[in-house]
Amino acid sequence: MAAVTVTAALSVLAACGTSGPSTTSSSKGLTMWALTDQTILKESVDAYNKDHPDEQITLRLFANDDYKQKLRVAFGAGQAPDIFFSWGGGALNDYVKAGKVDTLTDSQANLLRFTPSVLKSATFDGKVYGVPANGLAPVVLYYNRKVLQDAGVEPPKTYDELLAAVKKLKGDGVTPMSLAANSKWPTLMYLEYLLDREGGSGAFEKIASGDASGWKASAVTEANTRLQELAKAGAFGDNASSVNYDQGASTALLYTGKAGMELMGTWEYANLVKAAPDFVKKDLGYVAFPSVSGGAGDPKSIVGNPSNFLSLNSSSKHKSAALTYLKQYVMNDDQVDAYLAAGSVPPVNGLDSKLAAVKSADDKKWLTFVYDLVRDSPSFQLSWDQALPSDQADPLLTNVDKSFLRQITPEEFGTNMSKAAQ
């Protein structure tokens, strides 16, 4: 698969857009809202419209920063679209609690085709309220094979091995782990995994359910203690707080050999293929996040962005047409093939034969790794800044950064977040 093709994976994830809303399709029928750059999603709408000239979908695409506010305003004014795009988690559940979203059954939307751990992000009180609409994006640990080999380090499988690797790499004058701490959300990935490994998936599930006392659990304190231990050991170098992810600096540290490892979402693979294809072929490695000895978490559990979702407005007057689209055009064979060609793994079961047919050895290895990681995971935890209500996202990122910088104690992190959640 050519690099230019694989980089299309960036456009099938929910990335920030820069333009205002754009529209495709007809002036009659049903409406759907999503984010800009959803190329494969747009193709599925075009396919539906070609087959249904009498009741078409009008698709409006919005910039990321505008979208959430415009959707809230539209629902408040009774002008929301028939089908709408979301990240699942707490923001979608707010609409569910308000009675704005219809439940979906297997007979309506063929739900059994989707990866179970992904579907959980749109499942509330045992009922499903959204269909996965784009590729899987778990967070994985990337590493530079040459840098680790030169330092005599194996890819870490446990936290203790990770800490030992940090000390060896630092001793060799290499930044052990590339981190764009200035952006804050990359630091959050460490805390998400450390809490999951320490306390199990139930630790954050309690918090996400609205129980503010969950932030004061011993597992939260221990996770912050480990994050600070890594920082104190020099895991992230001396300049992490000046590194911004959007500028590509943290990615470059890995492929130029200035850093040994990087914890990041699967979209980073496309960035690496674009920036350093030779590095991908020769020296790129990747593994799941290490286990924590004595922790309650399953080492096969993952965190990140399971998928984005399409949901049905409970006030829609075009429910039959909307369900036809969701069942027959979302993640059908054509769309699955399109995601794989873009270097992204769609959240559906039974991909083995399609993965086996991928021609590029590098891409096949990568896609199979991601697919197996998600398929075998008992829990796929949505990123906290998406899973929690929007009024907790800023306090969360602020306190994660303070914990990373050791400006607050691990206990103070829990206290601060408990107050923010009340």
418 versus 339: the higher-pLDDT residue is 418
DSSP classification of residue 331? T
pLDDT reading at 15 higher than 60: no
Global pTM value:
0.81
In the chain, the domains with their CATH numbers are: 3-136+306-349 (3.40.190.10), 137-303+381-420 (3.40.190.10)
* pLDDT of res. 238: 94
pLDDT tens for 45-70 read: 999 999 999 999 999 999 876 788 89
* pLDDT of res. 28: 67
Average pLDDT over residues 163-171: 97
Q: How many CA atoms lie within 13 A of 218 on its CB side?
A: 2
Average pLDDT over residues 316-345: 93
* pLDDT of res. 48: 97
- H-assigned helices in 316-409: 319-328, 333-341, 352-356, 361-375, 384-387, 390-404
* pLDDT of res. 65: 63
pLDDT reading at 247 higher than 70: yes
Confidence band (pLDDT; 50, 70, 90) for 395? very high
Average pLDDT over residues 385-402: 91
Phi, then psi, of 157 in degrees rounded to 5 = -105, -15
Using CB atoms within 10 Å of the CB of residue 407, give its burial: 0 to 12 exposed, 13 to 18 middle, 19+ buried. Answer: exposed
Phi, then psi, of 58 in degrees rounded to 5 = -95, 115
Please give the single-letter amino acid code of residue 118. V
Task: Supply the Cα-derived Rg of the chain in whole angstroms.
Answer: 21
